[in-house]
Amino acid sequence: QKEVEQDPGPLSVPEGAIVSLNCTYSNSAFQYFMWYRQYSRKGPELLMYTYSSGNKEDGRFTAQVDKSSKYISLFIRDSQPSDSATYLCAMRANTNAGKSTFGDGTTLTVKP
């Protein structure tokens, strides 16, 4: 079983919808949680970075971490066609940035 599980989708929503993306994990040592967005033929781009449990908001994006349930979420409000991409959750256990464990990614399509 993988340390990080992410529903691969694909997920298709109409423009303006609220999107919920989720990951579960098994390693209780994970403390740092990230969400990346990856467009086709591009490298992943960091969207959100949170430490431990709680919520973090940045514009239309909100990241939630529930360490007790080993569950993290990314919410996208007022989704736009430009949000169509693959979203990857990632997490790591210590202060070492390089060794992150990634989910397999959820492919999102926002239809105009």
Residues that bind another protein (CB under 8 A): 32, 34, 36, 41-46, 49, 51, 88, 90, 92, 95-105
Report the residue number, 49 or 75, with the smaller CB distance to another protein: 49
Report the residue number, 43 or 112, with the smaller CB distance to another protein: 43
Report the residue number, 18 or 46, with the smaller CB distance to another protein: 46
- Partnered with residue 56 across adjacent β-strands are 63
- Write down the least CB distance from residue 54 to another protein, Å: 15
Q: Is the dihedral of CA 28, 29, 34, 40 positive or negative?
A: negative
Place of tokens 């390089």: 98
- Write down the least CB distance from residue 91 to another protein, Å: 9
Question: What is the rounded distance in angstroms from the CA atom of residue 71 to the CA atom of residue 93?
Answer: 15
- Write down the least CB distance from residue 97 to another protein, Å: 4
